[in-house]
C-alpha cells in the first residue's frame, strides 16, 4: 500500500452574496413573511367565523325543533312531519335529522340511513353545546357536521335523541378555494417581489456605486483628489465619505513626507559618498606622499563615520515606530545623568566660549538612562551650536504637576522663525539648510534627524517634546518625562 507523504489542502473562498442580492433576498423574505402572516390571520378569522355560524345554526335549529315538539304536546309524529317537510323537498338539503327513542328510530330524513348511519354520530351532548361538540364527516362528496342532542317532550319521562347533520360543503369549498388562491398568489408574488426588491436595492445602493466610481479615479499620482460631497450623500454614507477623505488626506500627507524623506535621504547619502569618491579619485590620479594618503584616509574615515551615524539614527527611528522596542527603564538620579551629558559637551562649548549651567530640583526619574542621555545630548548639542559667544546655555530639571520630570534647555541664539516650529520634529527638516556642516554632528545633528530622534524617545516614554523660540531672543526646548508611566501603543 502506498502512503502519501504530503497533504494537499485546497482552500476555496466562501461564496458571499453581494449587498444588492442580500437586500433583494431580505426584502423578498420580509414581504413574503408579512403576506403569509396576513394570509394566516385572514384564514383563521374566516374559519372562526364559519365555526361560529355553524354553531349558531345548530343551536337555532335544535331550539326550533324543540319548540315544534313542545307545540305538538310531545308527539314525535308532528316533529317528524316538520323534519320531513324541510329536508325532503330538495336534494341539496341544508341539514338532515333523525329522531330516536332509546335505540329505536322514530323517523329520519329520507336516505339518511345510507349516507349517515346512526353509528357515525358521537354520544349525546350533555350540557351547553360548544363548537368542539360538532364532529366533521365527509361522505358522497359532501361535508357534514354531526351532533347528538336531547329533545325533552312535555308529557314524556324519557327524552328523545336528535341526531342532526349540518351540511357545510359550500363553506369548506370556499376555504379550499381561498387556500388555492393563496398558493397561486404566492407563486405569482415571488418574482414580483424579487424584481421590486432588486430595483429598490439598486436605487438604495446607487450612492455606493457613485462612491466606487469616484474612488476608482484616485491614483498615486492624484492623491489630492477627493470624493465630492455634492450632491449630498445619504446620512449612512456621509460619515464614510468624510472618513475616506480624511484617510486620503493622511495618505497624501504621508506620501508627500515619504517623497521628501527619500529625496533628503538621497541628498544626505550623496554628500559623504561624493566626498569619499572625490578623495579616492584624487589619490589615484598620481602618486602621493604618505601624509597625503593618510589625510585622504582620515577624511574618508570621517565620511564613513557620518554615513554610519546616519544609518544608525535611521534604524533607531524605524525601530521606535514599532511597539516592540524594548525600554530598559530604571530609577536613576536625573541630575547625575545630566551632569554626565554636560561634561561630554563642555569641551566643545568652551571652544565657542559658551557656558553651560545646570539647575536641578528633581531628584529621580524612572526612564531609560541611555535614551535620556541621548535626548538631552541632542538638545544640548543644538543649543551649544547656535548659542552666541560668551553666552550661557541653561539646563533646568524640575518636577511638574503630574508627578513627571521636565527638562528645559535654553539658549540665547538667533531663534527660529514661527513658520518652522511645527516642522522641527520632522525627519531631515532644517530651519537653516545653509548652515555649515563642518561644525560636526552628534547623534543626528547636522542631518536633520536630531529632533526627530528626541521626539521618538519622548514618545517611547509616553512623554512629549516642545520647542518655543523667538527670533533674536533665543530658543527653549522642553522634554517632559511622565513618572512611573508606560505608554500604550
Residue 378 domain flag: yes
- Residue 338: which CATH number? 3.30.565.10
Q: Are 335 and 477 found together in one domain?
A: yes
Residue 209 domain flag: no
What are the pLDDT tens digits along the chain (489 aa)?
444 444 444 545 555 778 888 888 898 999 999 999 999 999 999 999 999 999 999 999 989 888 888 888 777 888 888 888 887 765 667 889 999 988 888 888 888 888 899 999 988 888 888 988 999 999 888 999 999 999 887 666 577 889 999 999 999 999 999 999 999 998 999 999 999 989 988 888 888 888 888 888 887 777 778 888 777 888 888 888 888 888 888 888 777 777 776 776 676 677 778 877 887 887 888 787 888 878 888 888 877 877 776 676 666 666 656 555 567 888 899 889 999 989 888 888 888 899 999 988 877 888 888 888 888 988 898 899 889 988 999 999 988 877 688 899 999 888 888 887 777 777 666 665 444 444 443 344 455 677 778 888 888 888 888 999 888 888 999 998 887 654 443
Residue 164 to residue 319: CA distance in whole angstroms: 97
Of 255, 288, 318, which residue sits at a domain end?
A: 318
**Cross-strand bridge partners of residue 408:** 396, 478
Residue 199 to residue 159: CA distance in whole angstroms: 71
What totals of helices (H) and strands (E) does the chain contain, helices first? 10, 12
Residue 282 domain flag: yes
Q: Do 181 and 203 meet the contact criterion of CB atoms below 8 Å apart?
A: no
What is the four-CA torsion angle of 274, 261, 263, 305, rounded to 10 degrees?
0
Residue 208 domain flag: no
Q: Are 271 and 402 found together in one domain?
A: no
List the grid coordinates of 244: 475616506
Of 130, 155, 177, which residue sits at a domain end?
A: 177
Q: Are 166 and 114 found together in one domain?
A: yes
Q: Are 277 and 336 found together in one domain?
A: no
List the grid coordinates of 2: 502506498
Phi-psi region of 140 (alpha: psi -120 to 50; beta: other; left: phi over 0): left
Question: Please, which residues have CB within 8 angstroms of residue 181's CB and are 6 or more apart in sequence?
Answer: none
Q: Are 349 and 456 found together in one domain?
A: yes
Residue 420 domain flag: yes
Q: Are 260 and 371 found together in one domain?
A: no
Residue 435 to residue 444: CA distance in whole angstroms: 15
Residue 214 domain flag: no
Structure pTM? 0.51
Q: Are 242 and 337 found together in one domain?
A: no
Residue 164 domain flag: yes
**Cross-strand bridge partners of residue 354:** 391
Residue 198 domain flag: no
Q: Are 279 and 168 found together in one domain?
A: no
Of 283, 318, 353, which residue sits at a domain end?
A: 318
- Residue 93: which CATH number? 3.30.450
CA atoms within 13 A on the CB side of 40: 6
Q: How many domains does the chain have?
A: 3
Per-residue CA distances from 487 to 322, 327, 457, 459 (Å)? 12, 11, 12, 8
Q: Are 380 and 466 found together in one domain?
A: yes
Question: SS3 for 341?
Answer: helix
Q: Are 443 and 337 found together in one domain?
A: yes
List the grid coordinates of 27: 426584502
Q: Are 299 and 330 found together in one domain?
A: no
Which residue range(s) make up the domain with 134?
20-177
Q: Are 159 and 280 found together in one domain?
A: no
Amino acid at each position: 500500500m502506498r502512503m502519501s507523504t504530503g497533504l494537499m489542502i485546497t482552500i476555496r473562498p466562501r461564496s458571499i452574496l453581494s449587498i444588492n442580492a442580500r437586500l433583494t433576498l431580505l426584502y423578498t423574505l420580509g414581504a413574503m413573511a408579512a403576506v403569509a402572516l396576513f394570509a394566516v390571520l385572514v384564514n383563521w378569522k374566516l374559519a372562526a367565523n364559519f365555526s361560529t355560524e355553524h354553531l349558531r345554526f345548530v343551536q337555532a335549529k335544535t331550539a326550533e325543533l324543540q319548540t315544534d315538539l313542545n307545540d305538538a304536546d310531545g308527539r314525535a309524529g308532528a316533529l317528524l312531519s316538520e323534519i320531513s317537510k324541510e329536508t325532503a323537498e330538495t336534494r341539496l338539503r341544508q341539514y338532515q335529522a333523525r329522531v330516536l327513542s332509546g335505540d329505536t328510530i322514530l323517523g329520519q330524513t329520507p336516505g339518511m340511513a345510507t349516507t349517515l348511519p346512526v353509528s357515525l354520530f358521537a354520544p349525546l351532548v350533555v350540557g351547553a353545546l360548544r363548537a368542539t361538540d360538532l364532529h366533521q364527516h365527509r361522505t358522497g362528496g359532501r361535508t357534514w357536521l354531526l351532533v347528538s342532542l336531547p329533545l325533552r317532550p312535555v308529557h314524556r319521562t324519557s327524552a328523545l335523541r336528535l341526531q342532526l347533520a349540518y351540511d357545510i360543503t359550500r363553506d369548506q369549498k370556499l376555504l379550499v378555494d381561498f387556500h388555492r388562491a393563496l398558493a397561486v398568489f404566492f407563486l405569482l408574488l415571488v418574482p414580483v417581489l424579487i424584481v421590486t426588491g432588486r430595483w429598490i436595492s439598486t436605487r438604495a445602493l446607487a450612492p455606493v456605486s457613485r462612491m466606487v466610481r469616484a474612488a476608482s479615479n484616485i491614483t498615486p499620482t492624484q492623491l489630492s483628489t477627493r470624493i465630492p460631497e455634492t450632491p449630498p450623500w445619504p446620512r449612512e454614507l456621509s460619515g464614510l465619505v468624510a472618513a475616506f477623505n480624511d484617510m486620503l488626506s493622511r495618505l497624501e500627507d504621508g506620501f508627500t513626507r515619504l517623497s521628501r524623506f527619500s529625496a533628503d535621504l538621497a541628498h544626505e547619502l550623496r554628500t559623504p559618498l561624493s566626498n569619499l569618491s572625490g578623495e579616492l579619485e584624487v589619490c589615484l590620479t598620481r602618486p602621493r606622499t604618505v601624509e597625503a594618503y593618510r589625510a585622504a584616509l582620515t577624511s574618508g574615515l570621517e565620511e564613513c563615520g557620518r554615513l554610519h551615524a546616519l544609518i544608525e539614527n535611521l534604524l533607531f527611528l524605524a525601530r521606535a515606530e514599532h511597539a516592540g522596542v524594548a525600554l530598559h527603564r530604571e530609577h536613576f538620579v536625573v541630575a547625575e545623568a545630566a551632569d554626565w551629558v554636560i561634561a561630554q559637551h563642555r569641551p566643545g562649548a568652551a571652544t565657542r566660549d559658551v557656558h553651560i549651567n545646570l539647575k536641578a530640583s528633581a531628584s529621580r526619574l524612572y526612564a531609560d538612562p541611555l535614551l535620556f542621555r541621548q535626548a538631552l545630548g541632542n538638545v544640548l548639542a543644538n543649543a551649544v551650536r547656535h548659542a552666541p559667544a560668551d553666552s550661557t546655555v541653561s539646563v533646568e530639571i524640575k518636577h511638574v504637576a503630574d508627578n513627571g520630570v521636565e527638562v528645559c534647555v535654553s539658549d540665547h541664539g538667533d531663534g527660529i522663525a514661527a513658520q518652522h516650529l511645527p516642522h522641527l520634529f520632522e525627519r531631515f527638516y532644517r530651519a537653516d539648510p545653509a548652515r555649515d556642516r563642518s561644525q560636526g554632528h552628534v547623534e543626528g545633528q547636522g542631518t536633520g534627524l536630531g529632533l526627530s530622534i528626541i521626539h521618538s524617545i519622548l514618545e517611547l516614554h509616553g512623554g512629549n517634546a516642545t520647542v518655543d523660540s523667538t527670533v533674536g531672543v533665543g530658543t527653549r526646548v522642553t522634554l517632559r518625562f511622565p513618572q512611573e508611566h508606560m505608554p500604550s501603543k
